[in-house]
Amino acid sequence: MKSFLSLNDVENLPALVKDALEIKKNPHVYKDLGRNKSMCLIFLNPSLRTRLSSQKAAFNLGLQTAVLDVGSQGWQLEFADGVKMDSDKAEHIREAAAVIGSYFDVVAIRAFAKLENREEDYSEQVMESFKKFCPAPVINMESGTGHPLQALADLITIEEHKTVEKPKVVLTWAPHLKALPQAVANSFSRWMQAADFDLTITHPKGYELVDEAVGNATVEYDQQKAFEGADFIYAKNWSSYSQYGQVLSKDPNWMVMAEKMKRTNNARFMHCLPVRRNVIVEDAVIDSNNSLVIPEATNRIYSMQVVLKHILEELKSSH
C-alpha cells in the first residue's frame, strides 16, 4: 500500500481485514517493521480516538510518532497556486507537505469538512495536496469526504460478530444538535458495499448522501421498515449534502430506541463515537449486550495498525 486516502487504495479488502484480525491476536509481532522509522500525525481538528489509537498502533509496530496540533497553534496553510500570500496564511502547502514528508516516513492527516463550501470539501484539497507535495505515504485520519480508518474498523468489527455470510447492515441517520460532516457515513456506505454486505441506508428526505457513496445501497425513508431483519444497526448523524451543511431535521423520533431494535434480527448496535446518549441512541440500547461501540472503538487500533503495516512493508520492499 502506497498511501491510504480512501477505499480506492485497498487492493484486496478481504485480505486486509484478515490481516487486521491476525494482528489483533498478536499485536507486537511486527515490531521490527517500524525500527528507525517515524510517523507524523497532523491534526487540523480535535481528536481523541484517532489520536490515541494511532499512537497505540505505532507503539505496537515500534514506530516513533510526532504529533502536530495545527489548530491550537494558529498555523494556517495556503492551498491556492499563484497567489500573493499577504493574508493570515503563513505557509503554502507545497513547502509544508514537502518538508514534513522529508522528515517522516509516514504522514497521517486529519482535516474535517468545513461544511461551508461543498465543492471545496468534496475536492479533498487538503488530502490531495498532501499526496501531491509530500514525498512520504499519506494516511487519511478523516478528510472532507471520508473516514476510511473508521470504516475499516467497522468492517473488522462486523466480521468478528456477524453470524451470517452476508449480514443485513443498516446505516441510520439520527438527530444531532450541530451540523456534522458526511465523512463517516460516506465511508461506511462505500466499505460495506465493497465487503458485499446487504446495506440499507435510512434517513429523512433531504439527507441523501452523495451518489458515489450511496452506490447500490437500498435507500429507505421509513426507519422502522429499514430496521426489519437487520443484523447490524449503525447510527450516525450527518448534515445535508444537497442543502450543503444544513441541519434539516432534529426529529427525536429518529433516535435509535430499544423499541425499534425489536424489529431487527437481534441486531448489534454500532456507532463511531463520541455519541450523545438519548439524542442519537437510547441508554437502553447502547448499554445493552448488543452494543458494540467499545469493541468497535478498540478496533481503531487494528485498522490503523494494518494500514501502517502494509505501508511500512511497501517502503521496505521499495528500498
**Residues that constitute the known binding site for carbamoyl phosphate:** 47-50, 75, 110, 147-150, 272-273, 300
Dihedral over alpha carbons 186, 188, 189, 191 (to 10 degrees): 120
Q: State in angstroms the smallest separation of the CB of 217 from a second copy.
A: 27
Using CA atoms, how far apart are residues 26 and 111, in angstroms rounded to an integer? Answer: 31
CB of 275 to a second copy, least distance (A): 7
Pairing label, strands 198-202, 168-173:
parallel
List residues near a second copy by CB under 8 A.
28, 31, 36, 38, 40, 46-49, 51-53, 55-56, 59-60, 64, 66, 68-69, 72-75, 78, 81-86, 90-92, 94-96, 98-100, 102-104, 177, 273-279, 283, 287, 293-294, 297-298, 301
Half-sphere exposure of 175 (CA within 13 A, CB side): 13
Q: Which residue has the cell 478496533?
A: 299
CB of 100 to a second copy, least distance (A): 7
Residue closer to a second copy by CB (options 118, 268) is 268
User: CB–CB of 27/313 below 8 Å?
Assistant: no
Query: Which of these, 318, 316, 22, 300, lies nearest to 139 by C-alpha position?
Result: 300
Nearer to a second copy, 1 or 77 (CB): 77
Residue nearer to a second copy on the CB measure, 72 or 216 = 72
Helices 49-60 & 293-317, crossing angle to 10 degrees? 50
Residue 128 beta carbon to a second copy: minimum distance, rounded to whole angstroms:
19
Contact 20, 158 (CB under 8 A): no
For a second copy, which is the closer residue by CB, 192 or 301?
A: 301
Which cell is 75 given?
498555523
Residue 295, by phi and psi: left (phi above 0), alpha (psi -120 to 50) or beta?
A: alpha
Residue 254 beta carbon to a second copy: minimum distance, rounded to whole angstroms: 14
Choose between 85 and 164: whose C-beta lies nearer to a second copy.
Answer: 85
The minimum distance between CB 199 and a second copy, in angstroms, equals 25
Q: How many residues does the chain have?
A: 319
- In the complex with a second copy, the residue whose CB is nearer, 28 or 205, is 28
What is the Cα–Cα distance from 86 to 89, expressed in whole angstroms? 8
